Amino acid sequence: MKRIFLSLILFLSIFIIDLKADDSSHNTIKKMRADAHAPYSIMLDHYHKEKEIMLSYRFMTMKMDGYLSGSSKATYTDARTKQDGSNYMVVPQDMDMHMHMFGGMYALSDDITFAFMSSYIENEMKMKRHANGAIKTMKSSGIGDTKINALKRFYQSGDVKIHATLGLSLPTGSISQEDTMFSGSKGTLGYGMQLGSGTYDLLSSATYFNTNSEYSYGVQISGVKRIGENSKDYALGDIIQTNIWGAIPFNDNQTSISFGSEFKFQEKIDGSHKDISSIMSFAQDKEASGFKRIDLSFGINHVFQNLRNLRFAIEFIKPVYNDVNHVQLETDHEIILGIQYNL
């Protein structure tokens, strides 16, 4: 919450600057609508004109709490039980993830835009040792995977835009994260606490976007394909997801509200982490991976037209349907804050 509070202070500070800015400064720059881009949770939703440069920062926080088995709520007893009927010694209680994402885009031409994104991740998972009820918080942090994409414009006529992307995720995030276990010795953390996939991943997407004087809307289909296994003898599941959204501008098109929905499917982990010799909890169990999920989102965007169309966005995401393999922590919500700036 402290991080969110600080980001809101930044937003208010920029807003005050915007109100005081000289009106003549934005007369030389084409005004951008607040809904000219998709909600901030959707990546690679737009391309740029030749030689344009855009820089972005996103902060995402996710809270996981409670248990799911399939699409139903699960109990502590369920979370402690392996698929073969035996018991885990340790049970995850909840998890918090904070991710800082730094991005840049450069348009080689009106038809081709390149995009780059890196991240810094902080994970915390509270664990309970069943035998004596002891509680311990496991932590991991560091650089995540690096993503490089090319965006190709295929169609633009009036307010309709269609483009596709192809990219590669580089395994710069660690898959060897450890922490001190209940025994007092170091041990390898579970799959969700690692910072990357460990594999080179193919990235692709296709996006349709339409605007008119009263609203905008769009659809994006995207996927992630793992290339082989990583150095620890496993591969995270491939991903397919679909996003739909709509937005309504107001305040002379400087502000907009957005509504969206995402369907995401991720396959189960293939292989198993060779450094996890003893599976102490479902967080270390490859059987407790993979899911189908539907999220709903609500966002607010504001463009500071006096500051070269600096864009600020906040978005709240809530899962409304979850179907997981075995037993997993339930995602409660996500919050995303972000800034975009065109040079």
Domains along the chain? 2-342 (2.40.128.130)
What is the rounded distance in angstroms from the CA atom of residue 43 to the CA atom of residue 235?
23
Across residues 261-288, what is the average pLDDT?
97
The tokens of 226 are what?
């793992």
What are the tens digits of pLDDT across the range 68-115?
999 999 999 999 999 999 999 999 999 999 999 999 999 999 999 999
% of the chain residues with pLDDT over 90: 88
* Residues forming beta bridges with residue 328, ordered by sequence position: 68
Select from 119, 120, 137 the least CA-distant residue to 128.
137
- pLDDT number for residue 22: 43
- For the chain, give the mean pLDDT: 93
Residue 277 burial class via C-beta count within 10 angstroms: exposed 0-12, middle 13-18, buried 19 and up: exposed
pTM score of the predicted model: 0.91
**Residue 278, C-beta contacts closer than 8 angstroms, at least 6 positions apart:** none
What is the rounded distance in angstroms from the CA atom of residue 301 to the CA atom of residue 34?
6
Report the 10 Å Cβ neighbour count for 256.
24
**Quick one: pLDDT band at residue 25, thresholds 50, 70, 90?**
very low
Predicted confidence (pLDDT) at residue 18 exceeds the cutoff of 80: no
Predicted confidence (pLDDT) at residue 1 exceeds the cutoff of 60: no
Count CA atoms closer than 13 A to 39's CA, side-chain side: 28
The tokens of 184 are what?
């007092």
Which of 31-35, 63-67, 172-176 comes out lowest in average pLDDT?
Answer: 31-35
Q: Which helix (H) or strand (E) holds 137?
A: strand 135-143
